[in-house]
Amino acid sequence: MKRLAVYCGSASPSDPRYLALAHSVGAELARRGIGVVYGGGRLGLMGAIASSALAAGGEVIGVIPEALVSGEVANYDCTELQVVATMHERKAAFTRLSDGFLILPGGVGTMDELWEAVSWAQLGYHSKPVGVLNAFDFYDGLLAFNRHMAEVGFVRPAHQGIIMAESELDLLLERMHAHEPITPITKMNPDTL
């Protein structure tokens, strides 16, 4: 994995553990020679990931829509900052530029990015690993809901392992590195769907 799209919040929660986590992840990715592709802002966890990766000598590519350049205080310190017209273009760039998706704690935008990465894997638009860093048990409810969707039958057995979740970054990166693509819906036998 040369680059990972890192999805996380642009907010700074009052609990300092979240910003500390983002700083440590950015520095560790840089230490491992893994570039960061992220939302292009200077605020919150997004800004912490970028600043720590840059400080550690890592590559950081920011992708930000025109409408958010001033609102999210675009990070012009990035190795490269791409300004795109829409959120759709932003997410397409994340997929194009990265070798996988690493999800840290975040809000609605992070959830949108996570579920799109999972959906696109199911449909065969990419075959990249999707890793959720479940630090501080932040994603326990989401992971339980994903299991519930599978139990009910809305997530096919072949796709139940798309989301890889670990509470430790080292373990998560190991699993993502060992990732083997799933069979997308487009390659499945229609009679078994």
CATH code assigned at 97: 3.40.50.450
Task: Specify the pLDDT at position 193.
Answer: 59
Tally of domains in the chain: 1
Range of the domain at 131: 3-192
The edge-to-edge listing of strands for the beta sheet with 80-84 is 80-84, 60-65, 35-38, 3-7, 101-103, 130-133, 163-166
Which of 110, 122, 126, 127 shows the shortest CA–CA distance to 180?
Answer: 127
Tens of pLDDT along 132-165? Answer: 999 999 999 999 999 999 999 999 999 999 999 9
**pLDDT for position 121:** 96
pLDDT at 60: 98
Report helix, strand or coil for 152: helix
> CA 21 from chain center: how many Å?
15
> What pLDDT score was predicted for residue 187?
85
Res 191: pLDDT: 66
Which pLDDT belongs to residue 189? 74
Q: Determine contact, residues 98/73, Cβ cutoff 8 Å.
A: no
Q: Which residues of the chain have pLDDT under 70?
A: 72, 191-193
The pTM for the full model equals 0.95
